[in-house]
Structure 1
Amino acid sequence: MQSVVQKLRDLDAYPKVNEDFYNRTFYGGLVTLVSAIIMFFLFVFEFSSYLHTVTETTLVVDTSRGGTLRINFDVTFPEVPCTVLSIDAEDISGERHFDIRHDIVKTRVDAIGNTVEARQDSIGAPKIKKPLQKHGGRLDHNETYCGSCYGAESSDDHCCNSCEEVREAYKKKGWALTNVDLIDQCEREGFFQKIHEEKGEGCNIKGFLEVNKVAGTFHFIPGKTFHLSDFFFSDFISVQNDNYNITHKINKLNFGDYFPGLVNPLDGVQWLQQTAGGSYQYFLKVVPAIYTDVRGRTILSNQFSVTEHFKHSDSGRYQSVPGVFFYYDLSPVKVNYMEKHTSFLHFVTNVCAIIGGTFTVAGIIDSFVYHGRKAMKKKM
């Protein structure tokens, strides 16, 4: 037993010095006090970091296919009335949606931004079921109503019983819809009257789009878009001859749910139009993101970067459709955010490093001070 104790004594890496050989100094005590305070604050900082979570970021190739992309938006146009403002979307797969109305809410605002009226998006009133004329003539007693398409009928029994159906008939013919005030259905539904009532007002439009997860575009324009082959037109712009001012403020624009640390660069951005005519374009690079918190809950979302460009509509050249256009493309790289706590062993290692490192540095400083003062006393 004694031999074992002796062997352990020989392994002692910290030999003890008799207290009679200690030489305690004022400056040594000061260095000790300062080092203790430093160790305390470093320990508190390290303990606080241990209690809080950290987020690790990794980049991987996005191998997912298919699926949908949700676009949430809230945009205010101070100079464009709600009646003529519409939203369209299309993507590279060939899917096109014009004058989207579902999941969209428009709010009329006055010149200073106060709310006038909020409504689900619709143009005019519901279709008139019993107007007075049938293709320009009176209804017989037992006849059902069949409204005129004003030259755009595809057959003799083709009926247009609403302003929207007249517009659709014109769209199929590739014609622009002009003189809306002379169309009986539009006049009865109050379309032209609404345009005049809302003149000088603006519009806040908000909602969301569910689109294919491929590159595409969506845009807000003062008019209704229709297409003929590969050409696109806006047929309600002729209702007013004024150049629309597309000044706008993007209150919110994102591509998915919020997660901690997410920054949407267009939130709160405002652009003022200085010249007449033209369109404003945003080019977005959408990066898929997955956020996993410490409890294992996962949020699938997206981040994006943006560049901007204003396209002038010069006189004498092709007149571009006024509006705000968003062109988005998907990145092949996906970002994984993993929220986690620092491990306990890592915390203990850091604490030991704080204590040992502080004592070592304090010992070096104390040694310099002690030997420096000792050398100065010898010279004196």
Structure 2
Amino acid sequence: MDGFATRVRTFDAFPKVDSEHTVRSLRGALSTIATYFFALVILWVEVGGFLGGYVDHQFVVDDQIRTNLSINIDMTVTMPCELIHTNVVDITDDRFLAAELLNFEGVHFFAPPQFFRINSQNKEYETPDLDHVMRENIRAEFYISGQKINQVAGAPACHIFGTIPVNHVQGEFHITAKGVGYQDSLHTPWERMNFSHVIQEFSFGTFYPMIDNPLDMSGKITHESLQSYKYYSNVVPTLYERLGIVVDTNQYSISEQHLVIRKDSNGRIYSPPGIFFKYEFEPIKLTIVEKRLPFIQFVARLGTILGGLLILAGYVFRMYERLLRLLFGRKYTERDTEKKDGGLLAAEKKDS
């Protein structure tokens, strides 16, 4: 038993070299200092990464059954409110007049280019990162519902805003002129149509006013009366999570088609002009979650990195010494070195 305890006490997984078999030099000291410096930097970075965590992006199949969703709209169209018709229709042939829920306000059209992307293709859009979403996750709603507030008869433009509940299926929300495409007691003359517009907000799901979307702050200006604007969006549910705080929202990609409706020889048109938002929902879900490595995994990772650094530093130093020896000779490399006396070879040399 005593022999086993002695062997355990003397066991060393990493045998050390006796001091009399080592050579000390200025180059070796500098390499040791540099190695320890890089090791401290790596230690600082890894500990900071462990405490701060990391952001994990995953696409998963959306297994949640969703029956309905809301569309948040805030836009201005260059037509009087009394000439505008809004409607929602989906693939199930479910229709309802969006005007019953939206708010209409007579205003003057205003689209300063320094605030709006005018006549752009809306291609420069990036997914909001976790920090931005967590800073701006202030929920809000258009608090006036089903009322036409401050509607001014004869105002040249119409501010349309509100929230529309829709079925969670492929559908379309469109803005057209009254009497065009739908039967109405009022028929809008061609010359009074102008579907120039600016969009302050267009989003799906819970309304987060500070989170940017592809169509936010964009606009289209035209001088054609029979202009058609079509926006095609693919909606992806997106979940942000950090420290138990969950922001469940939706993102979408956008593509556009713009065309001028032509009349036939009889002065009729085959499709109505207007603004059409066509949407469909993807069966996948994007999760953006802040995670942290388990402590055991962190320790193993840190030990592996630091051990690899020490081994690499040893190889680099030996290669550097051999290169100096090849270029300048043995005497140059042994200059300014110090070796302790002792050991079997030193004793034999002294006896001789």
> Quick check: 1:208 aligned with 2:163?
yes
Cα distance change, pair 273–69 in 1 and its aligned pair in 2 (3 A): same
2:257 corresponds to 1:330: no
CA contact (8 A) 2:76 2:109 kept: no
Mapped to 2, the partners of 1:29 and 1:124 lie a distance apart of 79
Distance 2:163 2:8 in 1: 75
Match of 1:378 in 2: 330
> What SS does the aligned partner of 2:200 have?
strand
- Pick from 216, 228, 250: which aligns with 1:302? 250
d(CA) in 2 for partners of 1:325, 1:235: 22
Amino acid at match of 1:61: V
* One-letter amino acid of the counterpart of residue 175, structure 2: F
Matched position secondary structure for 1:349? helix
Alpha-carbon distance in 2 for matches of 1:258, 1:348: 42
CA distance in 2, matches of 1:2, 1:258: 74
Whole-Å Cα distance in 2 between the matches of residues 334 and 288 of structure 1?
A: 5
Q: Report the Cα distance in structure 2 between the residues aligned to 1:8 and 1:120, rounded to whole angstroms.
A: 80
- Residues 251-290 of structure 1: pairs in structure 2 closer than 5 A: 251-257=200-206, 264-273=213-222, 275-290=224-239
Q: Match of 1:248?
A: 197
Listed one character per residue, the Cα deviations across residues 145-190 of structure 1 (whole Å, up to 9, x for unaligned) are: xxxxxxxxxxxxxxxxxxxxxxxxxxxxxxxxxxxxxxxxxxxxxx
TM-score by length of 2: 0.72
Tell me which of 304, 310, 313 is aligned to 2:261: 313
> d(CA) in 2 for partners of 1:274 and 1:236?
23
Q: Specify the SS of the correspondent of 1:100.
A: helix
- Deviation by residue 1:35-88 (Cα, 9 ceiling, x = unmatched): 2232222222222221224343443433444521111122222x2233333421
- Between the aligned partners of 1:26 and 1:37, the Cα distance in structure 2 is 17
* Cα distance in 1, alignment partners of residues 148 and 291 from structure 2: 51
Distance 1:276 1:258, change over 3 A: closer
**TM-score, reference length from structure 1:** 0.67
Gaps of 5+ in 2: 113-143, 333-352
Tell me if structure 2 keeps the 8 A contact 1:234–1:321. Answer: no
Task: Please show how residues 134-173 of structure 1 align to structure 2 within 5 Å.
Answer: none
How far does residue 330 in structure 1 lie from its aligned partner after superposition? 1.6
Letter of the 2:36 counterpart: A
Deviation of 1:314 (Å): 1.0
**Structure 1 residue 289 displacement after superposition:** 3.2
Q: More deviation in 325-334 or 9-18?
A: 9-18
SS in 2 for 1:24: strand
CA contact (8 A) 2:103 2:148 kept: no
Aligned Cα RMSD in Å?
3.3
Alignment partners' CA distance in 1, 2:211 and 2:200:
16
Q: Does the alignment pair 1:24 with 2:28?
A: no
- Tell whether the 8 Å contact from 1:257 to 1:299 is kept in structure 2 after alignment: no
Partner of 2:104: 106
Matching residue within 217, 222, 232 for 2:182: 232
Cα distance in 2 for partners of 1:19, 1:342 equals: 40
- The verdict on how the C-alpha distance between 1:306 and 1:340 changes in structure 2, with shifts beyond 3 A counting, is same
CA distance in 2, matches of 1:21, 1:209: 82
Q: How many residues align?
A: 296
The one-letter amino acid paired with 1:215 is Q
Task: Report how far residue 293 of structure 1 moved.
Answer: 3.5
What is the SS of the residue equivalent to 2:290?
strand
**Cα deviation per residue 1:274-332 (whole Å; 9 max; x = unaligned)?**
5442210011112233444432x544332222211113201226253222101111222
CA distance in 1, matches of 2:262, 2:294: 63
Q: Distance in 1 between matches of 2:322 and 2:52?
A: 44
- Unaligned 5+ runs, structure 1: 126-190, 226-230
Is the 1:50–1:347 contact (alpha carbons within 8 Å) kept by the matching residues of 2?
yes
Counterpart position of 2:311: 360
**Which residue of 207, 219, 222 maps to 2:174?**
219
1:93 is matched with: 92
**Structure 1 counterpart of 2:291:** 340
Q: Percent identity?
A: 26
The 8 Å contact of residues 215 and 329 in structure 1, kept in 2 or not, is answered as: yes
Q: Secondary structure of the equivalent of 1:339?
A: strand
CA distance in 1, matches of 2:211, 2:190: 43
